[in-house]
Amino acid sequence: MEKLVSKRVVYEGRVLSVRVDSVVTEKGRETTREIVVRPDTVAIVAIDQDLNILLVRQYRYAISKYALEIPAGLVDKGETAEEAARRELREETGYDCTNLRPIYTFWPAIGYSTEQMTIFLGTDLVFNPLKGDEEDIQVVRLPFSDVRHQVLRETESEEILFEDAKSVIGVALAAKYVDKYLNK
């Protein structure tokens, strides 16, 4: 285990800060660690009664292109992950869900970030919009089976539907639940 010697915040932004920590390694060497301090996040695999998945298409400045993703966002201060998931789903898609269950929690960037993400599965969707940020989001509804086959590479298609890890992980994990409980 490494021992902290000092911390220094070098950048403070709206949704993250960057910290440089001086540490002593287990072998006694002093070095630095650059840490992105970020709130926890949530992502939601939302599946309607017809076994369609609700996705969002939005422009992502960091990669200079539009991306298709599962709905996701930050957990606000004082909010639980479940509350954040419901809020984000309503803000981004206009839907809430009767059933919401966490299916996986992980560290998206374990080597340099404090962010922890929980992926939820939302079913029994009910239209209940909530005005959100001024994001320009397009809701896309696709058959879950098509998305699943593409993500799990169960099809001959060379198409890459998702380019982000949370969407691939979410769909892959939700597939087991859909097969077992919803796709009867």
Q: State the Cα–Cα distance between residues 42 and 28, nearest whole angstrom.
A: 37
Q: State the Cα–Cα distance between residues 21 and 69, nearest whole angstrom.
A: 33
Catalytic residue IDs: 135
Q: State the Cα–Cα distance between residues 19 and 6, nearest whole angstrom.
A: 10
The 3 state secondary structure assigned to the chain is CCEEEEEEEEEECCCCEEEEEEEECCCCCEEEEEEEECCCEEEEEEECCCCEEEEEEEEEHHHCEEEEECCEEECCCCCCHHHHHHHHHHHHHCEEEEEEEEEEEECCCCCCECCCEEEEEEEEEEECCCCCCCCCCEEEEEEHHHHHHHHCCCCCCCCCCCCCHHHHHHHHHHHHHHHHHHCC
